[in-house]
Amino acid sequence: MSLVAPFETSFGIQTERDILLLKATTSAGEGWGECVAGEEPTYSSEYVDGAQHVLVHHLLPRLFESGSLVAEDVARILRPVHGHQMAKAAIEMAVLDAQLRSSGESFGKYLGAVMSEVDCGVSVGIHRTIPELLQTVGGYLDQGYRRIKLKIKPGWDVEPVRAVRERFGDVPLQVDANTAYSVSDAEHLAELDAFDLLLIEQPLPEEEVLAHAELARVVRTRICLDESIISAQAAADAIQLGACQVINIKPGRVGGYLEARRIHDVCASHGVPVWMGGMLETGLGRAGNVAMAALPNFTLPGDTSASDRYYHRDITEPFVLREGRLAVPAGPGLGVTVDLEFLDQITHSVETVRRERRAARAAG
């Protein structure tokens, strides 16, 4: 799927997304999962071809061996395979969608949503010049987005933040470095304290959790972790270390919506606010994310932007911004319908993995 505009981060420029979808065909019916891995392993170690390989050769065979299952069993069955949270999340999402479509319950209801719509922010890529950045930010504010996140990197940080503050006043503003700094940049990052940001997201490499705690003693602005938080255990540890005061939850990054809900709960019990991240999802991933963002401790606007922030045409009915909010789907499962004809047009490969049936084994 080509993006409406190039999206530049400290780890590269995206002009399109090659997305792995997983359709589960079960005795209860069909369900859809979306794998959020990018084409290259530059956000995290996962990438889409690797995810497809581990799904086909390691994860799905274990799932099929276990016989009957529900979504709540998926993480335990797949635990012997280390890592690969994005691939695991896609399976759990598809199984959960099938299960909920069959029982008639929505993702929101199942996960514990307490709101019927959610406040939305938008993530703004690195631009070539400040005037171009201001034009983009102005456009999003005109559309009603309730919070702006600027992607930053060394050489593109204090000046773009200053320019957005000067032009747009006290709009809710935060920054995301995607691991681009080192702890020796602490004094420089502290210059951002002058701009009353909501938070600084993942300034340091994902393994450097303790260094984030050191940074938090120099920088007054709250530190938010994204890449470092791969599980509820990692979230609890980071909070106890003082490495973060806010957490970005991405269900794909942590192995699925069920682990994401545990992170939500751990954070709530420690008084740490969370917000829903984004991975340039289609309407499928967006539907699940918007549902989860309606849980009570999602108290900051998420990167749950409208479909048209990324795509001219989505593979489901589009999510449309209304007064800076998106409606939580209320229908069974994800509550959105895949446009199968359009999906077929843009699909470049399909791989079918079947559970071996006893009869087939006996015969063969």
Of residues 91, 6, 97, 4, the one with CA closest to residue 314: 4
DSSP 26-56: ETTEEEEEEE---SSTTSSS--HHHHHHHII
The residue number with the shortest CB distance to ligand NPQ is 38
CB nearer to Mg ion: give 75 or 247. Answer: 247
8 A C-beta contact, residue 93 and residue 34: yes
CB nearer to Mg ion: give 255 or 278. Answer: 278
Using CA atoms, how far apart are residues 279 and 83, in angstroms rounded to an integer? Answer: 18
Output the smallest distance, CB 203 to ligand NPQ, in A: 12
Could you tell me which residues come within 8 angstroms of residue 220 by beta carbon, excluding any fewer than 6 positions away? 190, 193
Of 88, 109, 153, 250, catalytic: 250
Using CA atoms, how far apart are residues 295 and 263, in angstroms rounded to an integer? Answer: 12
Output the smallest distance, CB 364 to ligand NPQ, in A: 40
CB nearer to ligand NPQ: give 288 or 333. Answer: 288
CB nearer to ligand NPQ: give 47 or 257. Answer: 47
- The binding site for ligand NPQ (CB under 6 A) comprises 7, 9, 14, 38, 43, 123, 176, 178, 226, 277-280, 303
Q: 3-class SS at 300?
A: coil
Interface map 132-171 toward Mg ion (x if CB under 5 A): ----------------------------------------
List b or e across 55-83, with b for residues whose CB sees 16 or more CB atoms inside 10 angstroms: beeebbeebeeeeeeebeebbebbeeeee
* Contacting residue, 176, 206, 208, 314, with Mg ion by CB under 5 A: 176
CB nearer to ligand NPQ: give 95 or 122. Answer: 122
Using CA atoms, how far apart are residues 107 and 104, in angstroms rounded to an integer? Answer: 10
Using CA atoms, how far apart are residues 148 and 172, in angstroms rounded to an integer? Answer: 6
Binding partner of 280, given Mg ion, ligand NPQ, none, CB within 5-8 angstroms per partner class:
ligand NPQ
Our answer to whether residue 151 is catalytic in this structure is yes
Q: Is 119 in the site for Mg ion (CB under 5 A)?
A: no
Q: Is 303 in the site for Mg ion (CB under 5 A)?
A: no
8 A C-beta contact, residue 193 and residue 220: yes
By the 10 Å C-beta count (0-12 exposed, 13-18 middle, 19+ buried), 155 is classed as exposed
CB nearer to ligand NPQ: give 91 or 279. Answer: 279
Output the smallest distance, CB 122 to Mg ion, in A: 13
CB nearer to Mg ion: give 273 or 318. Answer: 273
Residue 322's alpha-carbon distances to 24, 220, 310, in angstroms, are: 32, 34, 17
Output the smallest distance, CB 5 to ligand NPQ, in A: 13
Output the smallest distance, CB 263 to Mg ion, in A: 15
Our answer to whether residue 88 is catalytic in this structure is no
Q: Which helix (H) or strand (E) holds 145?
A: none
Output the smallest distance, CB 280 to ligand NPQ, in A: 5
96 phi, psi to nearest 5 deg: -65, -40
Q: Is 281 in the site for Mg ion (CB under 5 A)?
A: no
Output the smallest distance, CB 360 to ligand NPQ, in A: 37
Binding partner of 9, given ligand NPQ, Mg ion, none, CB within 5-8 angstroms per partner class:
ligand NPQ
Using CA atoms, how far apart are residues 296 and 345, in angstroms rounded to an integer? Answer: 39
For Mg ion, the binding residues in 181-240 under the rule CB under 5 A are 201, 226
Binding partner of 38, given ligand NPQ, Mg ion, none, CB within 5-8 angstroms per partner class:
ligand NPQ
The residue number with the shortest CB distance to Mg ion is 226
Of 23, 149, 151, 153, catalytic: 151
Q: 3-class SS at 2?
A: strand
Greatest Cα-to-Cα distance within the chain, rounded to the nearest angstrom? 73
Where in the sequence numbering do the catalytic residues fall? 151, 250
Contact set with Mg ion (CB under 5 A): 176, 201, 226
